[in-house]
């Protein structure tokens, strides 16, 4: 099961629920940041936007050149995670075995569920309509005897469709498709295949696998099996994946060429990274800083800490020291901050010399609780007033404007 234009659909459904009159899915629109601040790429697009050949992954500038009237909205990752969770709750009623493949794709093992729900095809239509009625967005569902064919089936005609793609249907439904449509065939691989006259999935399926292995190695054998609908991977329930590190980065609205502004950008990142650390109950033993210049040159530096920390001020101080070692004054357009070597905060015991951090930890905890209750922008540091920078920045938590905001020193 695959959500149709997930980010855009979720954004559109949410806005309609909040009283908006325009459905973003009916006009050329995309999710992908703010073109005025040079932020990001196209993450999702509406079906009308596809008529302008707007591609997921292209820059906002390029998309605007193709369609000057394109409506672009900034991504709201918290909303998308919530939509994904609500969707998963509905799916659990239809199968005890679910594998989340991405934020908007799921595999369901329907084996043995026919006695409860009926045949898979009618159940898929029922599930599709339930999602549309309860959550306000549409999905595509593919049905088959293995995960590969089910996924390929979900990619057939969109949106709001149910397709079967059983092995006997492969020659008519899958083989005529361009080779790029096969799961696992990326841009570079498709070019290698087309250079050798392999233009459709059917061409690939009927090719000699030993010939494919000559220029694609073992991956060629895998793709040959995929082209013939062969896949024996089981559906695996998602288990909690240990977090190895946390980080955020941001593209700055203007080129930064002075130390104070660069430190403020790092502070805005340290705020969000610190909040995420504390929310997940971790302290970090390694801090990394990365920068990208206006000439798109990339540099990074990291430091191992003597004692793990979760305090925003401590993370920021280390990040600023790394920046001083790393940066030589070139104009910056992008900065990143990451922490790793994580340990449980309740297990970590600070030394006698680190007791001064306890006061800061209490302040951080109080600020976190205010932001959790009233929003990320409810309280922020006064250093950001009139700075042109967001008090909190990064891909996971974005600062929002509020009618009433409180600044802190």
Q: What is the pLDDT of residues 29-72, one digit of tens each?
A: 999 876 565 566 888 999 999 899 998 888 888 898 999 999 99
Query: What is the H or E stretch that residue 12 is in?
Result: helix 6-17
Separation CA 112–CA 95 (nearest Å): 9
Which pLDDT score is estimated for 408?
A: 38
A 10 A CB-CB count for 245 gives: 14
| Contact indicator for 322, 287 with CB cutoff of 8 Å | yes
Closest alpha carbon to 384 in 285, 224, 263, 295: 263
Say whether pLDDT at 348 is over 70: no
On the question of pLDDT at 189 being above 70, the answer is: yes
Mean pLDDT of the region 222-244:
84
Kind and range of the H or E run holding 272? helix 259-279
- The yes-or-no verdict on residue 407 having pLDDT over 70 is no
d(CA 252, CA 293): 11
CATH topology of domain 2-77: MutS, DNA mismatch repair protein, domain I (3.40.1170)
pLDDT for the residue numbered 379:
81
Residue 232 has pLDDT above 80, yes or no: yes
The set of residues, in sequence order, having a beta carbon less than 8 Å from that of 351 and lying 6+ positions away, is: 307
If DSSP codes are grouped into helix, strand and coil, which group holds residue 78? helix
pLDDT at position 406 is 37
Where in the chain do CATH 3.30.1490.100 domains reside? Answer: 245-408
- Cα 281 to Cα 344: distance, rounded to the nearest angstrom: 6
Superfamily of domain 245-408: DNA polymerase, Y-family, little finger domain (3.30.1490.100)
Contact assessment for residue 144 and residue 156, using Cβ atoms and an 8 Å cutoff: no
Q: Which one, of 77, 81, 12, 98, lies nearest residue 47 by Cα?
A: 12
The CATH H-level (homologous superfamily) assignment of domain 175-227 is: 5' to 3' exonuclease, C-terminal subdomain (1.10.150.20)
**pLDDT confidence of residue 239:** 62
**Active-site residue numbers?**
105
* Cβ atoms < 10 Å from Cβ of 187: 7
Element (H, E) at 73: strand 71-73
Note whether 25 and 13 are within 8 A (CB).
Answer: no
Report the SS3 class of residue 282. strand
Residue 113 confidence (pLDDT) above 50: yes
What is the reported pLDDT for 352?
40
Q: In which band, very low, low, confident or very high, does the pLDDT at 405 lie, cut at 50, 70 and 90? A: very low
DSSP conformational letter for 60: H
Are 216 and 223 contacting, i.e. CB atoms less than 8 angstroms apart?
yes
Question: Which pair of structure tokens corresponds to residue 259?
Answer: 């130390």
Give pLDDT tens digits for 141-166: 999 999 999 999 999 999 999 999 99
CB distance 174 to 152 below 8 Å: yes
* Pairing of the two strands 71-73 and 406-408: unpaired
The predicted model scores a pTM of: 0.64
Half-sphere exposure (CA, 13 Å, Cβ side) for 31?
Answer: 17
Q: How far apart are CA 247 and CA 278, in angstroms?
A: 13
Looking at residue 380, its pLDDT comes to 80
Which of 29, 40, 112 is CA-nearest to residue 72? 29
The DSSP 8-state label assigned to residue 315 in this structure reads H
Supply the pLDDT for residue 34. 66
Residue 396 has pLDDT above 70, yes or no: no
Residue 397 is predicted with a pLDDT of 41
User: Is pLDDT above 80 for 98?
Assistant: yes
């Amino acid at each position: 099961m695959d959500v149709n234009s997930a980010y855009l659909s979720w954004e559109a459904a949410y806005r309609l629920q909040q009283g908006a009159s325009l459905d973003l899915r009916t006009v050329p629109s995309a999710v992908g940041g703010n073109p005025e601040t040079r932020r990001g790429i196209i993450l999702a697009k509406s079906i009308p936007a596809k008529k302008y050949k707007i591609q997921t992954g292209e820059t906002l500038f390029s998309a605007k050149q193709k369609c000057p009237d394109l409506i672009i909205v900034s991504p709201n990752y918290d909303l998308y995670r919530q939509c994904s969770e609500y969707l998963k709750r509905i799916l659990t009623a239809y199968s005890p075995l679910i594998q989340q493949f991405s934020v908007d794709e799921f595999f369901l093992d329907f084996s043995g569920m026919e006695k409860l729900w009926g045949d898979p095809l009618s159940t898929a239509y029922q599930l599709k309509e339930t999602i549309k009625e309860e959550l306000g967005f549409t999905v595509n569902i593919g049905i088959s005897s293995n995960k590969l064919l089910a996924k390929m089936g979900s990619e057939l005609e969109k949106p709001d469709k149910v397709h079967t793609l059983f092995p006997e249907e492969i020659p008519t439904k899958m083989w005529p498709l361009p080779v790029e449509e096969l799961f696992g065939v990326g841009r570079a691989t498709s070019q290698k295949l087309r250079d050798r006259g392999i233009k459709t999935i059917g061409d690939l399926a009927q090719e000699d696998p030993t010939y494919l292995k000559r220029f694609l190695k073992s991956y060629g054998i895998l793709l040959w099996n995929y082209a013939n609908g062969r896949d024996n991977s089981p559906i695996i329930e998602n288990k909690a994946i240990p977090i190895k590190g946390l980080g955020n980065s941001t593209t700055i609205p203007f080129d930064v060429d002075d130390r104070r502004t660069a430190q403020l950008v790092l502070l805005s990142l340290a705020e969000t990274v610190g909040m995420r650390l504390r929310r997940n109950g971790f302290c970090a033993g390694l801090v990394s800083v990365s920068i990208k210049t206006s000439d798109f040159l990339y540099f990074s530096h990291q430091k191992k800490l003597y004692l793990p920390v979760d305090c925003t001020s401590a993370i920021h101080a280390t990040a600023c020291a790394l920046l001083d070692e790393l940066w030589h004054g070139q104009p910056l357009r992008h900065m990143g901050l990451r922490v790793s070597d994580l340990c449980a905060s309740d297990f970590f015991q600070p030394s006698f010399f680190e007791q001064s951090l306890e006061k800061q930890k209490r302040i951080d905890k109080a600020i976190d609780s205010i932001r959790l209750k009233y929003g990320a922008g409810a309280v922020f540091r006064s250093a950001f007033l009139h700075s042109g920078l967001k008090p909190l920045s990064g891909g996971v938590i974005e600062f929002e404007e509020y009618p009433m905001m409180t600044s802190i020193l």
